[in-house]
Structures are given as C-alpha cells and as structure tokens.
Structure 1
C-alpha cells in the first residue's frame, strides 16, 4: 500500500514541485502552505479532514458513492491517507531538484523548437531526476510509517492493517515478539529508503 501511495503521489507531487520551482503566480504561497500542512498538523487531524472529504456526505465521497466505489475503511482509504502524508516530503525534494536545473538547457531546447511539455519531459525532468527519486523515497518512507491518518479513515480492519497499526495492535495486546518483528521490518525498509534518498541528495550525479 505504501508503494501504491508513492505511485499515486508522484504525478501531482512532481507537478506541484515544478510549479513552485519555476513559476510565480497568485496564490503560490497558499499552494505551498496547503501542500506542507500535513507536516505540521497532527496526523489524526489530517485523518479527520480526509474522513470528512471521503465520507458519503463529503464532496469527494458523495461523487464516489454515485459510482459505487467505497473509500472509507478500505485499503483505498489507506493508500489515500499515506499519499497525503507523504506528498509534502516528495514535493520538497523534487522542488529542490528542479531548482538546481540550469535553466539555460531548457531555454536552448525551447529555442530549438521543443514544446513546453517536451522541454519538461526530455530536459527538466531527467536533470531533476535525482531530486524526484529522493523525494519518492522520502514519501514512501513516510507512507510506510503512517498511523494517525490511516487509523482515522481505515481503522484496523482486515485488509487495512498496515505495519504501524500492526505494531500498535501487538503492543496493546502484549505480543512483544510480534511487535519487535514488525518494528524490525519497518525500520529496515525505512532505513534503506532514507539511506538511498540521502545518497541521491548529498552526492552529485556521477559521484561515488
């Protein structure tokens, strides 16, 4: 589910990162604030907002209900909650990647007749690729450890039980051995993702 959440957050995250790095427009500060909000709000508060939005009476939940798609207390809600919580970290790292791209390369490509979309796909995105990948790894790590928002929108039902929820459940019932096992798995995956992310951001392309 964390991997699916990372795939879900990539398109909007990269688009927002590029906008913040390359464009000046009315409402830019508001967009930046909204994207970063999950970093400072209590995860439970973010989960409550998602509960309102995805609920049957919420703006998005009402539309989804008309199509027969259930969101709350399903694995889909887990993925959405993970994506929302991981998005700010993806945007921050990807934005830094775009800001480090020399704009002369983009200008040369545009001068040679490349459309804005082609400049983005063939020049901007590849050159910012390390930052985007680092952001994706950070977003994945955050999604993997998500607990507060997830428990609000999905509970701890079969099919919605994440590693973080499993650790909490095992600890609450006194099953320390299982909790430590889950903790070890979570820590190993998170450590690997963070290590790779730091390598990407701290070492220039081609460095060893």
Structure 2
C-alpha cells in the first residue's frame, strides 16, 4: 500500500538525531553480520546442539502460543466486556509481565511451582512431579511472558469490532457461546493472528524466565537464546551463527505479519 501523505519538512537537527536513533538500532545487526562466519554458518547452524536448541525453541514457542490462544482469547473477551471488576486493575495485572524483568517472572514461577512452592509442593507430594527444569517449565515460562501480547491485541480487536452481526445472531435465536464462536471469533481473526504471531516471537526469544525456572539443560530445556548465551563463553562463532539464525527467523516472522496483520510494514 502506497503512503499518500505529504512529506513533512523536519528541522535538520531533528533529522540528524533521527538518523542517529536509526544507527543505534541497526549498528548491532551490522556488527553481527560483519562478524558472522559466513563460510561455516550452515555447518554451525546444523550442528547437533544448535538443531536441538532450535527444535526445542520452536516446539516450546508453538505450544506456548497455542495455550495462549486457548486462554488468552477468552481473557481478552472478559476484559473487553468489563465482566470482571475493577477492569482497570485486572488489565494492569495482565500486562505486568510485559514490563516486568523476565528473571522476576522466573523467580515467581519457582515460588509457585517449585518443589517447595505454593502449588509445587502439592504436585510433588501427590504426583511425585514438579515442572521445574523440564520441557513443561520452558512452555510455562514462555506462556506467562508472551501471553499478554496476544491478550492486548485481541482485546483491541474486540473493542474495535462491529457488533451488528452479533446482535443479528441473538435476534435469530443464537446463544451466547454459539455467537461468540461463529460470529465474534471470525470477525476478530486478524487480531488473533497478529497477537499469536507477536506471542510466538516473544516466546521464541525468551531467556530470563526460562533459565531461572527451567534451567539450561541441553536437549531438555536449552532453547536457542540459552544456547547462544552458553556458546558465547566457549565458541564465539557458534554463538554468532545461531544469533544470525534467530535474526533471520525474526525477519521471516515480520514478513509474515506484513500487510494483513502489521500494516505499518506494508
């Protein structure tokens, strides 16, 4: 889509600072590309530790996103309807993980689900199982960190929707659940799609909550960001290659959001 708005004439100082801001954002990427071992990058990316970490990252992020859709869409509907009071306080609690340091979230999950945690002690006593330092812990950490992005997107879509079709469905005798499932959800599918992609991207890059709550066990809980961090301490080239791989994956996600789900990139 072509932007037809007239060009704004900015002061030279504003333009200069704006270009400096752009440089701050892209300079690290340029440095990463400059330092990348391009002649060995395929070998490094297809090495067993990297492939294990990538597969685990994609699997955990996918499961976390699916769980976020199942839990987050109804939560967004509750927030949009004002069914829980005070709505502003509830909304604040929902979005807190977006601004909270991930390591704090990981610590909070440990106090909840750890072996001696508020709930974890009963899981351990009754089922001889706790999620800490397992693949389940990776999914839970990513879910808590990433789900607010989906909730915010879906709530915005719900607030902006046209309710005429829903009122027509009620007039024709459809129940609330049927109307929500067959009318409301299809109408906000773009918001759900955008939220799901942002949720997936955030889950894929999660580090702090994961390493705190799930640990860094190769082949079990070691996601790509954790593998990069570990490789930086012993093999710079491998770490840079995996970082390049995540950058490419992130760009592909943005391309997927382009147009329908992220008009600003059109």
TM-score, normalising length: structure 1: 0.91
Q: Secondary structure at the match of 1:59?
A: coil
Q: 2:76 aligns with which of 9, 17, 20?
A: 17
Alignment of 1:149 onto 2:187: no
Q: Is the 8 A contact 1:141 1:194 kept in 2?
A: no
Q: Secondary structure at the match of 2:206?
A: coil
Q: Is the 8 A contact 2:79 2:87 kept in 1?
A: yes
Q: CA RMSD, aligned part only?
A: 1.6
C-alpha distance in 2 between matches for 1:35 and 1:198: 27
Counterpart mapping for 1:1-208 below 5 A: 1-65=60-124, 66-158=126-218, 159-173=220-234, 175-203=235-263
TM-superposition CA deviations, 1:35-76 (whole Å, max 9, x none): 101111111111110111111222321332222332001111
C-alpha distance in 1 between matches for 2:133 and 2:84: 38
Q: In terms of mean alpha carbon deviation, does 73-82 or 99-108 score higher?
A: 99-108
The structure with the larger Rg is 2
C-alpha distance in 2 between matches for 1:54 and 1:75: 14
Q: Is the 8 A contact 2:84 2:90 kept in 1?
A: no
Compute the displacement of 1:198 (Å).
4.4
Q: Is the 8 A contact 2:224 2:242 kept in 1?
A: yes
Q: Is the 8 A contact 1:134 1:198 kept in 2?
A: no
Q: Is the 8 A contact 1:35 1:88 kept in 2?
A: yes
C-alpha distance in 2 between matches for 1:155 and 1:40: 22
C-alpha distance in 2 between matches for 1:180 and 1:19: 43
Q: In terms of mean alpha carbon deviation, does 72-81 or 58-67 score higher?
A: 58-67
Q: Unaligned stretches of 5+ in structure 2?
A: 1-59
TM-superposition CA deviations, 1:2-42 (whole Å, max 9, x none): 11111111111111111122235412112211110111111
C-alpha distance in 1 between matches for 2:119 and 2:257: 33
Q: Is the 8 A contact 1:166 1:179 kept in 2?
A: yes
Q: Is the 8 A contact 2:110 2:213 kept in 1?
A: yes
Q: Is the 8 A contact 1:75 1:154 kept in 2?
A: yes
Q: Unaligned stretches of 5+ in structure 1?
A: none
Q: Is the 8 A contact 1:131 1:200 kept in 2?
A: no
Q: Is the 8 A contact 1:73 1:154 kept in 2?
A: yes
TM-score, normalising length: structure 2: 0.72
C-alpha distance in 2 between matches for 1:63 and 1:182: 39
User: How many residues are matched?
Assistant: 203
C-alpha distance in 2 between matches for 1:92 and 1:199: 19
